[in-house]
Structure 1
């Protein structure tokens, strides 16, 4: 029975919490076994897409651990029996206006490599709903769940903990402060000891790529250890600022605070031999194509944040 003294937001919150308790009580729910066993063509496609030339996987008949989700991904036509306890929770949040989504955590555990011919089964357990919380993106709820993949002997081979924020995107344009400063852009990159040099370069109009100070290997994204020689000594080089479209997506939905949809997010291949992710600007979305030549450009999104983006140009 509805309490007439409750506000709309309180009623929504109670409804969401009751549903969350129900989904948590369901415990771990088994999904449908993978449509296909672990196979060579899919592994080869994955390695090609990621530029991974390590021959060990196919030589040893095992799959890269990070492929674990691939084997049980559902197609566009989801069968009702394959719905997990997460689906109803996310649908309820969506229905109540929490249409924005951003991933916040993904903790992964791999018990062993999966081998060619194995057919895996996913199992999902919804664990918590926390909120409502006020964030820079808008008010929302943090939803957390775990997925475990089992082999045909019912032994776990991998686990993932997912946490996302489902939020109500802000509407309208906030009034600038009386100081005349622009409202801070809500989606700010993380700056730490590994990435500070990159963002310092952006402020100076330089596209800096991390380089191993011992073997000279270039790497992006930046990291603390060279993947080639395991050295922790690092420096950087300044890239030419040219590149080509390696792959891209056109983002239509959900809404993204501070951005107008649709917009293009691309993986840009640099002549220096690394790839970098960025937005393509100054170009209609339907004019973007694989192999398209690009040049870097720098855009100030507020009074402090500058992001490297990509515009059509000769490579």
Structure 2
């Protein structure tokens, strides 16, 4: 879509490119320590539990509950629809991720609500894992 601003793209590096590759395949990736099997997000080079530098990735179920949330109204950047509901999700796998809650009025959001991951695709094809309330339809 010519002339339409797009979402700000993340910088890619050796510690996070794999995560965006999984998102491009409609998957929510979680980094896992090969030494102690601790899950961690956001991706980082060293395990905070055992200090191992060896890791792999697993695909998360995408199901969890809202641990915390905030509603952003300002500043408004091009390429985003406001208000933005940003959630901290406790995943079934036992780790947390921060993401956007979509298809939901901000007044409907509350702590402990069940959510599921869906993939948002920008007009330019960029994919981003986001969440919606469990049972919500597009």
Whether the TM-score (by the shorter chain) exceeds 0.5 is: yes
Q: Which residue of 2 aligns with 1:210?
A: 31
Are positions 1:257 and 2:107 aligned together? no
Q: Which residue of 2 aligns with 1:107?
A: none
In 2, the alpha carbon distance for the partners of 1:208 and 1:255 equals 28
Are positions 1:224 and 2:45 aligned together? yes
Among 172, 176, 201, which residue is 2:2 paired with? 176
Give the gaps of 5 or more residues in structure 1. 1-174, 178-182
Instruction: Give me the TM-score of the superposition, normalised by structure 1.
Output: 0.41
Q: Give the C-alpha shift of residue 184 in structure 1.
A: 6.0
Among 276, 281, 289, which residue is 2:110 paired with? 289
Structure-to-structure mapping, 1:152-191, within 5 angstroms: 176=2, 183=4, 185-191=6-12
Among 275, 286, 295, which residue is 2:96 paired with? 275
String of CA shifts for 1:223-254, please: whole Å, max 9, x gaps.
00111111111101111110111111111122
Q: Give the C-alpha shift of residue 276 in structure 1.
A: 0.6
Contact 1:210 1:237 in 2 (8 A): yes
Among 130, 133, 136, which residue is 1:312 paired with? 133
If asked which structure has higher relative contact order (CA below 8 Å, sep 6+), I would say 2
Q: Which residue of 2 aligns with 1:298?
A: 119
Higher helix share: 1
In 1, the alpha carbon distance for the partners of 2:33 and 2:92 equals 18
Matched pairs, number: 135
Moved over 3 A (4+): none
Give the gaps of 5 or more residues in structure 2. none
